[in-house]
Amino acid sequence: MIYEGKKKIWADYQKEIPEDHYFYVRSCIRQSFFPASEATFIDITKRQLGKDIFETEHHTTCGGIAYHSDTIPHETVMTIIARQFALMKKYGYENYVCSCITSFGLYCETLETWREFPELQEKIADNLWKTCQLEFAKPKYLVHASDLIFKYRMQIAAKSKYKLINKQTGLPLKVVEHIGCHYSKMFPSKGVGGAEYPYVLVGMIEAWGGQIIDYPERRHCCGFGFRQYLIKGNRSYSVSNTHKKFESMEPFKPDMIITNCPGCPYFLDRWQYVIAETQGKTYGQDGHGIPVFTYEEVAGLVMGYNPWDLGLQTHQVSVEPLLDKIGIEYDPSAKYLGKNGKVIGEPKKPNCLK
Amino acid sequence: MIDFGFGISPSSGINLNNSDKDTFSKLAKMEPNVLKCMACGSCTATCTAGDFKTTSLRTAILNLQNGLKDEALEILSGCMLCGKCTMVCPRGINTRHLILSINKIYGK
Amino acid sequence: MITLLISDTFKAVTPEEIIDRYPNSYNHFVLPFVIGIVFIITYLLIGLIRILYHLTPQDRKKLLKSLVTPKTAWKNIKDIVLDCLLHTKIWKRKPLLGYMHSSIAFGWFLLIVLGHIELALFAPRHLSSLSEGSLYYPIFYRFFIWINPAHETLRGALFFFLMDFVLLYILSGIALAMFKRVRSIALGMRHTTKPSLADRVALYSLWAIFPLRLLAEGFTADLSGGSFLTTPVNMLFKTFFGNGLNFMPTWWLYSICLGLFFVAMPFSRYMHILTEPLLILFRNAGLKVRKPRKGFAEAEIYACSSCGLCIDACPMNVQKKNLKYSSVYFIRFLRRHNTRKITEIANKCLMCGKCAAICPVGVDSPAIRRAHRETLNNKTDYDYSYLTNYSPQFATHEQNTPTTSKILYFAGCMSHLTPRIIKSVETILRAAKLDFEFMDKDKGICCGRPLMLAGKTEAALKTIEANRRIIKESGCHTLLVSCPICLKVFKEEYKLSGIRILHYTQLINELIKDSKLHLSKSDSTMVYHDPCELGRGCGIYQEPRTVLNCIGVLKKAKKERDESVCCGYSLGSLTLDEKERTKLAESCVDSLLEEKPESIITACPMCYRAIRSKASVAVKDFAEAVCEHIADK
Amino acid sequence: MKNNILVIGGGAAGLEAAANLERLGYNIILIERDKQLGGHLAKWDRLFPDGLPAQEVLDSLLDNISNVKCFTETDIQAINILDKSFNAILSNGITVLADAVLMASGFDIFPAAKKEEYGYGIYENVITNQDLEQMFKQQQSISPIPRAIGFVHCVGSRDEKAGNPACSKVCCATAVKQACEVKELYPDADVYCFYMDLRMFGRRYEDLYLKAQKSGVRFIRGRVSEVAQTADNRLLVKAEDTLSSKPVRVNLDMLVLMAGMRPSEAGHKVGIQLNLTTEDDGFFSAKDGMLSLQKSKLPGLFYAGACTGAKTLPDTLHEARSAAMEIDRYIKENFIKK
Stretch C98-104: mean pLDDT, rounded? 90
Helix, coil or strand: residue C519: strand
How close B57 gets to chain C, by Cα (Å)? 14
> What integer pLDDT is reported at residue C400 of this predicted model?
47
Selected from 3.30.930.10, 1.10.287.470, 1.10.10.10, 3.50.50.60, the CATH number assigned to the domain covering D112-260 reads 3.50.50.60
- Touching, C vs A (3+ Cβ pairs under 8 A): no
Q: Do D213 and B62 touch (CB under 8 A)?
A: no
Q: Do D228 and A2 touch (CB under 8 A)?
A: no
Residues of B in contact with C576 (CB under 8 A): 94
Asked if the domains D4-106+264-336 and D112-260 are classified in one and the same CATH topology, the answer is yes
- Touching, B vs D (3+ Cβ pairs under 8 A): yes
Q: What is the DSSP string of A224-279?
A: -TTHHHHSGGGHHHHHHHHHHHHHHHGGG--SEEEE-SSHHHHHHHHHHHHHHHHH
Mutate to test the interface with B, among C393, C443, C446 (most CBs of B within 10 A): C446
Q: Do B49 and C347 touch (CB under 8 A)?
A: no
| Cis omega (within 30 of 0) for bond into C597 | no
Within 10 angstroms of residue A334's Cβ, the number of other Cβ atoms is: 14
Of the given ranges (A326-335, C137-146, C278-287, C415-424), which has the lowest mean pLDDT? C137-146
| Percent of chain B scoring above 90 in pLDDT | 87
| Percent of chain C scoring above 70 in pLDDT | 92
Cβ burial, residue C438 (10 Å; 0-12/13-18/19+): buried
Stretch C131-141: mean pLDDT, rounded? 84
Residues of B in contact with D247 (CB under 8 A): 12-14
- The amino acid that residue A111 corresponds to is L
Residue D4 has pLDDT above 90, yes or no: yes
CATH class of D4-106+264-336: alpha beta
Nearest CA in chain D to B63: D244
Q: Do D113 and A6 touch (CB under 8 A)?
A: no
Q: B touches which chains (3+ CB pairs under 8 A)? A: A, C, D
Cβ neighbours of residue C249 closer than 8 Å, sequence gap 6 or more? none
Tell me the C-alpha distance between D124 and C430, whole Å: 74
Residues of A in contact with D230 (CB under 8 A): 216, 251
Q: Do A240 and B1 touch (CB under 8 A)?
A: no
Residues of D in contact with A8 (CB under 8 A): 113, 121
Stretches where chain A sits below pLDDT 50 are: none
Q: Do D236 and A216 touch (CB under 8 A)?
A: yes
> What integer pLDDT is reported at residue D182 of this predicted model?
96
Q: Do A232 and B1 touch (CB under 8 A)?
A: no
Angle between helices B57-65 and B95-106 (to 10 degrees): 40
Nearest CA in chain C to B31: C575
Residue C278 has pLDDT above 60, yes or no: yes
Nearest CB to B81 within list C387, C416, C456:
C456
Complex ipTM value: 0.87
Q: Do A232 and B6 touch (CB under 8 A)?
A: yes
- Touching, D vs A (3+ Cβ pairs under 8 A): yes
Residues of B in contact with C378 (CB under 8 A): none
Q: Do D231 and A215 touch (CB under 8 A)?
A: yes
Residue C1 has pLDDT above 50, yes or no: no
- The answer to whether D113 contacts chain A (CB < 8 Å) is yes
Nearest CA in chain A to D116: A196
Taking only residues 287 to 326 of chain A, the set having a beta carbon closer than 8 angstroms to any beta carbon of chain B reads none
Beta bridge partners of C503: C481
Residues of A in contact with D121 (CB under 8 A): 2, 4-5, 8
Closest CA to A164 of A196, A199, A121, A212: A212
CATH number of this structure's domain C385-510? 3.40.50
Mutate to test the interface with A, among D118, D131, D229 (most CBs of A within 10 A): D229
Nearest CB to B80 within list C377, C463, C578:
C463
How close D234 gets to chain A, by Cα (Å)? 10
Burial A125-144 (b: 16+ CB within 10 A, else e): bebbeeeeebebbbbebbbb
How close B22 gets to chain A, by Cα (Å)? 26
> What integer pLDDT is reported at residue C395 of this predicted model?
53
> What integer pLDDT is reported at residue C633 of this predicted model?
66
Q: What angle do CA C576, C582, C588 make, to 5 degrees?
A: 105
CB pairs under 8 A between A and D: 42
Instruction: Please tell me the total number of residues recorded for chain C in this structure.
Output: 633
Nearest CB to B35 within list D213, D250, D251:
D213
Stretch C191-215: mean pLDDT, rounded? 86
Tell me the C-alpha distance between D205 and D212, whole Å: 11
Residues of B in contact with C456 (CB under 8 A): 81
> What integer pLDDT is reported at residue D216 of this predicted model?
95
Q: Do B36 and D214 touch (CB under 8 A)?
A: yes
Residue C5 has pLDDT above 80, yes or no: no
Domains, in order of start, for chain A: 18-145 (1.20.1050.140), 160-334 (3.40.50.11810)
What is the bridge-based pairing of β-strands D76-82 and D85-90? antiparallel
Q: C touches which chains (3+ CB pairs under 8 A)? A: B
Q: What is the DSSP string of A113-180?
A: HHHH-HHHHHHHHHHHHHHH-------SEEEEHHHHHHHTHHHHHHT-S--SB-TTT-PBPEEEEE--
Beta bridge partners of D299: none
Residue C402 has pLDDT above 50, yes or no: no
Write out the E strands in C295-414: 395-396, 407-410
Nearest CB to B8 within list A232, A233, A240:
A240
Q: D touches which chains (3+ CB pairs under 8 A)? A: A, B
Stretch C365-388: mean pLDDT, rounded? 92
Stretch C3-9: mean pLDDT, rounded? 49
For the stretch D130-163, pLDDT in tens is 999 999 999 998 888 999 999 999 999 999 989 9
Q: Do B100 and C574 touch (CB under 8 A)?
A: yes
For the stretch D39-81, pLDDT in tens is 999 999 999 999 999 999 999 999 999 989 999 999 999 999 9
> What integer pLDDT is reported at residue C405 of this predicted model?
57
> What integer pLDDT is reported at residue C244 of this predicted model?
56
Contact by Cβ (8 Å): B106, C435: no
- The answer to whether B12 contacts chain A (CB < 8 Å) is no
Q: Do B8 and A237 touch (CB under 8 A)?
A: no
For the stretch C592-619, pLDDT in tens is 999 999 999 999 999 999 999 999 999 9
Residue C152 has pLDDT above 80, yes or no: no
Structural domain spans, chain D: 4-106+264-336, 112-260
- The answer to whether A251 contacts chain B (CB < 8 Å) is no
What CATH fold (topology level) applies to the domain C518-628?
Answer: Rossmann fold (3.40.50)
Structural domain spans, chain C: 2-272, 288-377, 385-510, 518-628
Residues of A in contact with B2 (CB under 8 A): 277-278, 351
> What integer pLDDT is reported at residue C68 of this predicted model?
92
Closest CA to D256 of D120, D147, D163, D165: D120
Tell me the C-alpha distance between A269 and C410, whole Å: 67
Give Cα C485 distance to the centre of its chain: 22
Contact by Cβ (8 Å): A239, B6: yes
- The amino acid that residue C408 corresponds to is L
Q: pLDDT tier at C145 (50, 70, 90 boundaries)? A: confident
Closest CA to C135 of C48, C44, C26: C26
Q: A touches which chains (3+ CB pairs under 8 A)? A: B, D
Q: Do A9 and D122 touch (CB under 8 A)?
A: yes
- The answer to whether A7 contacts chain D (CB < 8 Å) is no
